[in-house]
A and B are shown apart, each in its own frame.
Chain A
């Protein structure tokens, strides 16, 4: 596809340069500004959530209670997960969508710019509520991010803050997703048919659908917690005819699609980067689209694989086991398509490519342990051990986070007009990829050998691997400081890049000047 119109400046009565000062950022409706805000917020939260992870790893460095009180440890696991998922990954991915979707489909902006601004600013509000609990007398939520009753009802003062923070973050996600979905469906340039859209746009369309479908369910679930706590209802109380497990069903009906919300856009990113550096078109575009849609569909009928130990009826166990295993098929299609994309290409290994390749390999590791977890009878052993922790960090950290990093390196030159420091980028990659495996690979062993998750202290035989894991964690954490430095350096200056930036890059965004002007595609390009 190519763009027929020059896209930079047209003589409308809009002011083209961004306004100055703080109000630019507060009031902005510009999708690029909001993209930057979203991504910066995500980065900030990544560090806050990461700092909590460092406390976790420090406490687990050796047996015994060394640093923190067990209750505070539980607060850290809970907040770490909430901050990482709702604060770091989702905003970062939404930010990427904000910046990229309009330019990839040739739209002048997002469909609902004001809603866009609102959706973003709800995030700080939600996180002020959530993080403020850290400074309250009873401390922050300590129930695990899954918020199971009855435990969550014992939280004390932080409880309503947790509930309302989830509500606010939910509204933010729903509004953000509606905006993205409408933009994709309604704002495409002439000729940009659905099956011509870049995969990043496709994956985000499906992600947006998932979010609009499941965030309200989470809101409903936590609302029932609230009324159980303060208004005497008995949803999750057996004495009143309810069932604590019912919460788990509702939560995971949200929770499982949620994990695909976290991974599908990452699939989109990798599908953009691999072809560029393989200098060869993406293999199996349409099967990629169908695979993404199948994963999304299946994600609605597998939720109880998180609940194999709660005493589901046999038929339920079997159904959810089969459905979960099925997810491996479309995901496998994606992996093999990426392999075929690289096959007989002409590859170079710039930082975005390195992160993308690491993504494919290490996501596969996480996905395959997922398939092991899917086997209901053996999950009775794996469940709630570090094997699960290893699984989801492989898909989340070396999956989503790596993809986000790849995206940042890949599009940073387009955003800033400067090339990032390739040498530092490579160092960042190598330190990260090695340390992250030192961090999470031994956790498989810990889990199999019997270490439960969510514990601040452990039996002596787990000491060695925990220490190794912690060391990997500290190195990985420090490596991320380098990441921030590279970004700052690149924003401040550096070698100027061409509009094309990468030799093999395809897509409308590369037809724009680097850095891209404040307003783009005010007259739509014609896509052939």
Chain B
């Protein structure tokens, strides 16, 4: 290979790299689109600050890279032996060495000023107007609005759940926000300084929405603080960003930012709903529900609701066909499941302590538990033949 070709090829590689990065630079047009290249500018003052810092450093390192690349390509070209270059003998020059020690130092000093300012702003969680407590679970989030009586769990949406199986029923490409959608998004108002308190229940997770400009780890036993003041209404999506076990890839975060009035409507609706048999009753509400509301359900009702609950809650571990996997027992063909009803109710209400099988008693209401128990006892190859009614679950609590 001639050195001419060599230089040409190396230059090409370098240029493609640099140009494509540079193309990525302006704006956020690529964000959340195929071929997206760059960080989003985001919708908070923090995210914009960090975006600006990112772009600043990016340009600086591009210039440095260009100097190094051009310098080396030039000497490869100019001082190649095949062109008759004769080697010089110098091996030392204090002046230039001092220069290329001091200049990088000064550049870094320059960068560190805005970086420090931004960092200080990020850590300033004082003067907040509302607080949301975020708790990470394997593999879902719990949101508690400390100023309202609202709290709920947020899991990946059922469509993504189905599509992310091996040999899925629906293809990932048919799901609109594949892996980035949840059943219950976090709803917050815009233009309010929201303080986030982040913690975890089992292992470390990390709560991340790129448009808010940060991610923060949720550490079991500790609370981390962060804040955001969202400036534009919209739907912002993110993911858990700390390896948290098997389904780390499948615990998305969705934040919906609403205008203040709409937010207030949402809060009112939540409060109203929680009093009825809502999606996410708080512990206390379960007792409030009057006995007579627990009407018996038909087989159809039970099985339909059961399937829904199963696909959203249980499928992650026990798999779509109840076949389980290493460490997670199969429910299909499981004699325990088709055996004594009260034992099954107990496992689901109280969980199996010390294992990944959590207590669903606080998270699902009686109807849902009854439905899912009925479902697992009668779906797939299972054939217990009986129905479990909400009242039985009530008694089992």
Contact = CB atoms under 8 A, between A and B. Distances in A.
Direct contact of A and B (CB under 8 A): yes
Interface of A: 63-66, 69-71, 74, 137-139, 142-144, 148, 150-151, 154, 156, 237-239, 243-245, 278-285, 287, 309-311, 314, 317-318, 321-322, 325-326, 328-329, 332-333, 335-337, 339-340, 342-349, 354, 357, 360-361, 364-365, 368-369, 371-372, 375-378, 380-381, 383-385, 426, 430, 433-434, 437, 441, 444-445, 448-450, 452, 454-461, 463-465
Interface string B92-122: 1100110011001100100110011011101
A512 to B, nearest CB: 25
Interface of B: 1, 3, 6, 9-10, 13-14, 17, 20-21, 24, 30-40, 49-50, 53-54, 57-58, 61, 64-65, 68-69, 71-72, 75-76, 79-82, 85-93, 96-97, 100-101, 104-105, 108, 111-112, 115-116, 118-120, 122-123, 163-166, 168, 171-173, 177-180, 202-204, 206, 208, 210, 213-217, 219-222, 224-225, 238-250, 325-327
Given A378-B50, A381-B50, A460 B173 contact: yes
Given A284-B97, A437-B13, A361 B69 contact: yes
Contact of A328 (B20, B58, B87, B104): B104
Contacts of A339: 68, 71-72, 75
Contact of B221 (A239, A335, A458): A239
B163 A64 contact: yes
Contacts of B58: 372
A321 B53 CA distance: 14
B105 A329 contact: yes
A167 B119 CA distance: 38
B68 A335 contact: yes
Contacts of B249: 70, 452, 455-458
Given A151-B243, A154-B245, A309-B215, A342 B75 contact: yes
B326 to A, nearest CB: 6
Contacts of A371: 57, 61, 108
B50 A70 contact: no
Contact of A342 (B72, B90, B202, B325): B72
Given A151-B203, A459-B180, A311 B325 contact: no
A365 B68 CA distance: 10
Contact of B34 (A71, A309, A349, A460): A460
Contacts of A349: 1, 3, 6, 76, 80
B39 to A, nearest CB: 5
Contacts of A361: 10, 14, 68-69, 72
5 contacts: A66-B166, A333-B100, A372-B61, A377-B122, A445-B37
A347 B13 contact: no
Contacts of B120: 314
Contacts of A385: 241
Given A74-B246, A284-B97, A138 B326 contact: yes
A243 B222 contact: yes
Given A375-B111, A381-B50, A449-B38, A244 B220 contact: yes
B206 A384 contact: yes
Contact of A347 (B57, B61, B85): B85
Contacts, number: 326
B72 A70 contact: no
Interface of B is mostly: mixed
B165 A65 contact: yes
B222 A311 contact: yes
A69 B88 contact: no
A364 B101 CA distance: 16
B226 to A, nearest CB: 9
A71 to B, nearest CB: 4
A314 B112 contact: no
B198 to A, nearest CB: 8
Nearest to A326: B108
Interface of A is mostly: helix
Among A66, A377, A455, max chain B CB count under 10 A is at: A377
Contacts of B65: 364-365, 368
B76 A357 contact: yes
Contacts of B6: 349, 354
B123 A314 contact: yes
A459 to B, nearest CB: 5
A311 B224 CA distance: 6
Contacts of B71: 339
Contacts of A434: 9, 13
B75 A336 contact: no
Contacts of B165: 65
Given A71-B326, A377-B49, A237 B221 contact: yes
Contacts of A441: 17, 20
A361 B74 CA distance: 13
Contacts of A433: 13
Contact of B325 (A69, A150, A340, A378): A69
Contacts of B164: 64-65, 457
Contact of B168 (A64, A151, A463): A64
Given A244-B220, A321-B115, A457-B179, A346 B87 contact: yes
Contacts of A452: 208, 239-241, 249
Given A139-B326, A322-B112, A332-B100, A278 B87 contact: yes
A76 B217 CA distance: 24
A118 B13 CA distance: 45
Contacts of A314: 119-120, 123
Contact of B214 (A325, A380, A426): A380
A381 B97 CA distance: 35
B79 A346 contact: yes
B166 A150 contact: no
B68 A364 contact: yes
A150 B76 contact: no
Among A156, A282, A368, max chain B CB count under 10 A is at: A368
A381 B54 contact: yes
Nearest to B173: A460
Given A345-B85, A449-B37, A457-B164, A340 B96 contact: yes
Nearest to A63: B172
Nearest to B115: A375
Contacts of A342: 72, 75-76, 79
A454 B23 CA distance: 27
A70 B34 CA distance: 24
Given A380-B215, A456-B249, A461 B13 contact: no
Nearest to B77: A347
B203 A150 contact: yes
A318 B76 CA distance: 40
Contacts of B215: 309, 380-381, 383-384
Given A74-B246, A342-B79, A344-B90, 19 more contacts: A64-B163, A65-B168, A70-B246, A71-B325, A150-B220, A281-B89, A309-B241, A311-B219, A321-B115, A321-B116, A346-B80, A368-B65, A371-B57, A372-B58, A375-B53, A375-B54, A380-B216, A381-B54, A455-B248
Contacts of A322: 112
A280 B88 contact: yes
Contacts of A69: 166, 246, 325
A444 B85 contact: no
